[in-house]
Amino acid sequence: MRSVSFPYLEYRQRKAPIVPVALKGKNEWKQTTAYVDSGATYSIFKVEEAERLGLNLKSGKKDFVVVGDGSYIPIYLHRLTVKIGDEELKATIAFSPNLGVGFNLLGRKDIFSHFDVTFSDSKERITFTSTKSS
């Protein structure tokens, strides 16, 4: 099994499980970062990321998700190729104009079935181990 490990990154003077992620747009890969959120069903990225990828935001399937304060926000679901480390996979990625946190979220759908994800707060590292055989 292949594994890739990342150190936690600094966010608002605290270490957090924020990792580099690449998304494939119409013609090229775009690098960004995302907070790995095991409590999130969907990976939700800022609208600016969809624009950088050349996507028509509203061509995605519209849905709504509940956020921390109990309110619902609209999301637009797109099927994209994602790269974490050297591993590429197809994943459902949502974009929302109402994402209120200051970062993109990497949620469970498609990601956590492709990888076993291990958080080590004591070592301030997160490890993705591929569940797919080479």
Q: Residue 53 — pLDDT band, cuts 50, 70, 90?
A: very high
Over 70: is that where the pLDDT of 1 sits?
no
Q: Where are the domains of the chain?
A: 3-130
H or E element at residue 93: strand 87-96
- Please tell me the pTM assigned to this model: 0.93
Tell me what percent of the residues of the chain surpass a pLDDT of 90.
Answer: 86
| Dihedral of alpha carbons 84, 103, 124, 70, sign | negative
Instruction: Express each pLDDT in 86-131 by its tens digit.
Output: 999 999 999 999 988 889 999 999 999 999 999 999 999 999 999 9
Length of the chain: 134
Q: Residue 134 — pLDDT band, cuts 50, 70, 90?
A: low
Would strands 18-24 and 72-84 be described as parallel, antiparallel, or unpaired? antiparallel
- The residue type of 56 is N
Rg of the chain, C-alpha, whole Å: 14
Q: Residue 70 — pLDDT band, cuts 50, 70, 90?
A: confident
CATH superfamily of domain region 3-130:
Acid Proteases (2.40.70.10)
Q: Residue 32 — pLDDT band, cuts 50, 70, 90?
A: very high
Is-contact 32 93, C-beta < 8 A? Answer: no
